[in-house]
């Protein structure tokens, strides 16, 4: 019998998993926070260097244009790099939490598991999903913001699907585009639930910001485990549907 868990049940599952093991979860999630701080520092230093480098031209229109162009290019470059790096590390953490949900006694190795996306097993497929979904969402966003949000939610499970397929097929090839299509089908009838689940963390996010970001050390594990639990619940019900079809 199909059993889709409520938002409250998913969060309770996340809290139960983290109970007594918050230290490991925080260490796992601390890596992207540290890298983000480093990235921001590098960006600020680069911006300051550029300002000094072209200071001689600051009084001319040409200098002002050069200043604006180089500063914008530098910021865009580092924003893209930091964004991609943060996404890939967060995905590695999410994969770890999914495995942890399925095997609550598993050992956590923060550094190794946070960077697992950068291995031969996951990197290319994950990179292609990142590029393809980004392209599709951009096209939909050109129409209106709302379609872009809907498609982002529709494709949200593609990375988890890719991970599961890679685990099942060992060294076999897994199509990134097929994972995106499977995510879109999987999310039929569940997009609103996922959207509301995301909104439910906004209050905690505001409190984390007010704590100068320290609160994110606790919030990020909680959010990532809950999202992993959401996907895991979808797959459990999908397997139930498949068993009925076989019957």
Residue at 170 is within a domain:
yes
pLDDT of residue 215: 86
What domain range is 241 assigned to?
7-246
Residues of the chain with pLDDT below 50 are 64, 66, 240, 243-247
pLDDT of residue 40: 62
Closest listed residue to residue 92, CA positions, set 102, 80, 104, 84: 84
Based on its alpha-carbon atoms, the radius of gyration of the chain, rounded to whole angstroms, reads: 21
Give the mean pLDDT of the chain: 83
Residue at 62 is within a domain:
yes
Residue at 1 is within a domain:
no
Residue at 177 is within a domain:
yes
Residue at 2 is within a domain:
no
Burial class (CB in 10 A: 0-12, 13-18, 19+), 12: middle
Residue at 133 is within a domain:
yes
Which secondary structure element, helix H or strand E, spans residue 85, and what is its range? helix 61-102
Residue at 11 is within a domain:
yes
Residue at 128 is within a domain:
yes
Domains in the chain, number: 1
Closest listed residue to residue 34, CA positions, set 173, 172, 243, 213: 213
pTM more than 0.85 = no
């Amino acid at each position: 019998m199909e059993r889709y868990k409520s938002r409250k049940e998913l969060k309770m599952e996340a809290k139960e998993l983290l109970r007594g093991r918050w230290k490991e979860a925080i260490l796992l999630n601390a890596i992207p926070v540290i890298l983000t701080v480093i990235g921001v520092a590098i960006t600020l230093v680069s911006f300051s260097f550029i300002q000094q480098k072209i200071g001689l031209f600051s009084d001319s229109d040409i200098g002002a244009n050069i200043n604006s162009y180089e500063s914008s290019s530098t910021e865009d470059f580092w924003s893209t790099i930091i964004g991609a790096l943060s996404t890939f590390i967060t995905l590695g953490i999410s994969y770890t939490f999914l495995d942890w949900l399925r095997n609550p006694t598993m050992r956590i190795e923060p550094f190794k598991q946070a960077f697992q996306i950068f291995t031969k097993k996951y990197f290319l497929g994950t990179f292609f999903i990142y590029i393809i979904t980004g392209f599709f969402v951009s096209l939909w966003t050109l129409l209106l913001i709302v379609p872009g949000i809907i498609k982002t939610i529709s494709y949200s499970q593609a990375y988890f699907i890719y991970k599961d397929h890679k685990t099942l097929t060992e060294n076999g090839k897994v199509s990134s585009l097929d994972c995106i299509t499977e995510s879109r089908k999987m999310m039929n009838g569940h997009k609103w639930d996922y959207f509301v689940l995301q909104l439910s963390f906004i209050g905690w996010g505001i409190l984390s910001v007010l704590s100068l970001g320290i609160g994110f050390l606790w919030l990020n594990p909680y959010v990532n485990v809950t999202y992993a639990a959401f996907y895991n619940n979808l797959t459990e019900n999908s397997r139930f549907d498949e068993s009925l079809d076989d019957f």
